[in-house]
Amino acid sequence: MEEEEQLSLKLISKLEQLESENNRLHQQVHDNEQRESLLESKISAMDAQLEDAMADIINLEKSQLSQTGRKRANEIYESTKVPSTPNLLPQSQIYGISTRSPIRMESQLDTPPPQTSKNTPPPSQFKPWESGGIKTQISDFMNRMEELEKENDSLKHINRQLQNLNVMQQSKARESQGMQELEVTALYAEKRAADLETDMAVLIANQQALLTTFEQKSSSLARVTQEYKAYKAKRQMELRNFEMRLSDVVADFKKAESSLQIAEEKRKGDEETMAQSQRVISTMQKELQRKNEAIQQMRAHTSSISENYNAMNEKFKSEQRSVKLEIASIRAEGKEKDTQIARLLAETGDLLMLKQQKVELKQNCHDLLSVVESQQEMIQSLRDESGTTEPDFQPVQSSDVLSPKPLRPNKNIVTAAGTFAARRIEAPNGTNN
């Protein structure tokens, strides 16, 4: 019973451990789902940024096309301009395209133009993940485009002034000076166009860097998403394995419950067996009482026993041998009964009840032994009266009846006592008194 209780406690503790592990796995799955939703939100935000970047690229391409158109118009104008005309405008308006940078001297025209503008960083310093990001770069680019539009308006104004100069071809005196000023202005316009082209190339390079960075981020995000899906599949497999183990443990627990029920039924059967043993013992006690009454009758017939002593002496020896044989059989049966009692005690655990029954049985055996000893004393007294000095039989010792271990009472003891009592009162001629 204790082993079954310990087994049930172990199963219950194992169930609690499995339930705690199940709760932990569910919590981990919930955390993974939250992480997945956060990654999806980041992916959607990056998609929105990609859409904005694509829109900005489209606008940039449109602006580049418009810039190319303006450049083509300037080339057409340069190819169709009329030679020197007098300058009718102030020099500040002719040169006043943009006052941010001075006109380069003729010695400086051979130097390469700068590769970056004032508002756009070089490609090596372009970092879209810093403050502002793509939108800040695009806004700077749009501001730059507005400035270019203003400079385009200034170029249109110069175009109108040049047209006025073409109309005024009659001023031969100012032709050389106007042509020199117009040449200087044209050189400046070419320089500004070269600067604009450089700025446009830098912006395009930055845009390409943005696209490359976005593609890298997209590939990294795809890799992380694939790893998360693999991790989620692995966790789901572990959850299914855990559920299978939990079902096995539940099945083992049900088997343990069924074994406990079987043990309980067996214990009830053992209790019924003990009740039957108690009834047998009570029957044996009644039989011993009846035999005691027979012994009392034996005492009433002592006078006839003394007359038939000599004949009974030989019969008593044979009866003593038979009694010893019966006592040996009783011992063997007693050992067998002791084995059965030990098995019953191991199965039921009711040691106190069986010990009490053994004590009562031992007392009954002692009572029977006292009766036999009293009969021996009676026979000895009869021998003294008849003049016989030495006994023809050995008295029955307590060690011949009681074994070192207490014997369980059985019907052989009652049968032996009854046989002995019946033969003691038998007459010499073989008839009973």
The pLDDT tens digits for 149-194 are 787 787 777 777 766 766 665 566 555 665 667 677 767 767 777 7
| d(C-alpha 304, C-alpha 267), whole Å | 55
Residue 274 lies in a domain: no
pLDDT tens digit sequence for 293-312: 877 776 666 656 666 666 66
Q: Write out the residue range of the structural domain in which residue 236 sits.
A: 2-252
Residue 279 lies in a domain: no
Q: Which amino acid is at 162?
A: L
Which range in 33-37, 275-279, 318-322 is most confidently predicted, on average pLDDT?
275-279
- Whether residue 65 is predicted with pLDDT greater than 80 in this model: the reply is no
Q: Which of 62, 43, 188, 19 is nearest to 113 (CA)?
A: 188
User: Using only C-alpha atoms, what is the Rg of the chain?
Assistant: 64
Residue 51 lies in a domain: yes
Specify the number of domains making up the chain: 2
pLDDT tens digit sequence for 409-418: 444 444 444 4
For residue 118 the two structure tokens come to 């004032």
Number of residues that this document lists for the chain = 433
Indicate the pTM of the whole model: 0.24
Residue 32 lies in a domain: yes
Q: Are residues 220 and 368 in the same domain?
A: no
Chosen domain end from 230, 252, 274: 252
Which residues sit opposite 426 in a β-bridge?
Answer: 432
Q: Are residues 329 and 206 in the same domain?
A: no
Mean pLDDT, rounded, for 205-225: 76
| d(C-alpha 35, C-alpha 49), whole Å | 21
Asked whether the beta carbons of 57 and 207 are under 8 A apart, the reply is yes
Percent of the chain, pLDDT > 90?
0
Chosen domain end from 236, 252, 268: 252
| d(C-alpha 318, C-alpha 321), whole Å | 5
Q: Which long-range contacts (CB under 8 A, 24 or more apart) does 203-206 make?
A: 203/60, 203/120, 203/141, 203/144, 204/60, 204/64, 205/123, 206/120, 206/121, 206/123, 206/126, 206/137
Q: Are residues 247 and 336 in the same domain?
A: no
Asked whether the beta carbons of 161 and 94 are under 8 A apart, the reply is yes
Q: Which amino acid is at 259?
A: S
For residue 358 the two structure tokens come to 């053994």
Q: Which of 42, 103, 77, 414 is nearest to 228 (CA)?
A: 42
End-to-end alpha-carbon separation of the chain, Å?
A: 59
Residue 430 lies in a domain: no
Q: Which of 253, 430, 246, 399 is nearest to 327 (CA)?
A: 399
